[in-house]
Amino acid sequence: MRSHHASLVLHRLRARYPAPRTQLNWTTPWELLVATMLSAQTTDARVNHVTPELFARWPTPAHLAQAELADIEGVIHSTGFFRAKARHLQATARILQERFGGNVPQTMAELLTLPGVARKTANIVLSNAFGIHEGIAVDTHVKRVSFRLGLTTATQPDRIERDLMGLFPRPTWGDLNHYLVLFGREVCLARKPRCTACPLADICPRNGVPL
């Protein structure tokens, strides 16, 4: 049964990653929200390279709301899609000031009203900043690894998320994202998965993996 398979996957990944955490550097919910928004289409390392200056210059939504858009673009330029990201960040900062007292909201519905915030970002913020598990963040690593492991046959993030939510206990949803991301970066690589060094090799159907 797929539920038993999922339980084995969870047990082994938990043993491999006993203290999982996001690779983005942050100290407040606002910083995590910003870093996660910046992480689209780039690496966590690149985001971590630009956020120290970003957070030093504009440490709160109130500060960023008043910044010059060109200045924001200049700081985040290397993360790619910098114009759209800068617009979304500033618009989000202004909404947080106007509607939420300068605080990051703690519900999925409210987070999804913020420009540039979809379920993946909202799930990451809720889980890591507030310990609230509304869903499972699905990025390229989660999508790839969950398919290869036979946890889902879906290709759309929302369908993948629903499949995973049905297989794993709610308290594990936040950690599951970390497990699959870390495993996707270290073992289940996109181009050349390290199947011979995989601790899940005996239970993995290797869906989509070239022979």
Report how far residue 20's alpha carbon sits from residue 144's, in angstroms, rounded to the nearest whole number.
Answer: 19
At 118-161, the pLDDT tens digits run 999 999 999 999 999 999 999 999 999 999 999 999 999 999 99
Residue 166 has what pLDDT? Answer: 98
DSSP state of 43: -
39 & 52 share domain: yes
Q: What's the chain's average pLDDT?
A: 97
In a domain? residue 84 = yes
User: To the nearest whole percent, how much of the chain has pLDDT over 70?
Assistant: 100
In a domain? residue 211 = no
Confidence bin at 210 (pLDDT 50/70/90): confident
Burial category of 167 from C-beta neighbours within 10 Å (exposed 0-12, middle 13-18, buried 19 and up): buried
96 & 173 share domain: no
At 108-121, the pLDDT tens digits run 999 999 999 999 99
Residue 1 has what pLDDT? Answer: 76
122 & 36 share domain: yes
- Cβ atoms of 167 and 154 within 8 Å: the answer is no
Residue 119 has what pLDDT? Answer: 97
Residues identified as active-site: 120, 139
Residue 130 has what pLDDT? Answer: 98
Q: Which of 211, 133, 207, 208 is nearest to 177 (CA)?
A: 133
**CATH of residue 145:** 1.10.1670.10
pTM assigned to the model? 0.95
At 152-206, the pLDDT tens digits run 999 999 999 999 999 999 999 999 999 999 999 999 999 999 999 999 999 999 9
Residue 31 has pLDDT above 90, yes or no: yes
pLDDT mean over 57-66: 98
Residue 102 has pLDDT above 90, yes or no: yes
Report how far residue 182's alpha carbon sits from residue 22's, in angstroms, rounded to the nearest whole number.
Answer: 9
Residue 116 has what pLDDT? Answer: 95
The boundaries of the domain holding residue 15 are: 2-20+135-203
96 & 110 share domain: yes
Boundary-marking domain end, from 77, 105, 130? 130
Boundary-marking domain end, from 98, 130, 162? 130
- Helix (H) or strand (E) segment spanning residue 205: none
Residue 2 has pLDDT above 80, yes or no: yes
Residue 129 has what pLDDT? Answer: 98
Handedness of CA 195, 196, 199, 200 (dihedral sign): positive
- State both tokens at 120: 């993946």
Residue 211 has pLDDT above 80, yes or no: no
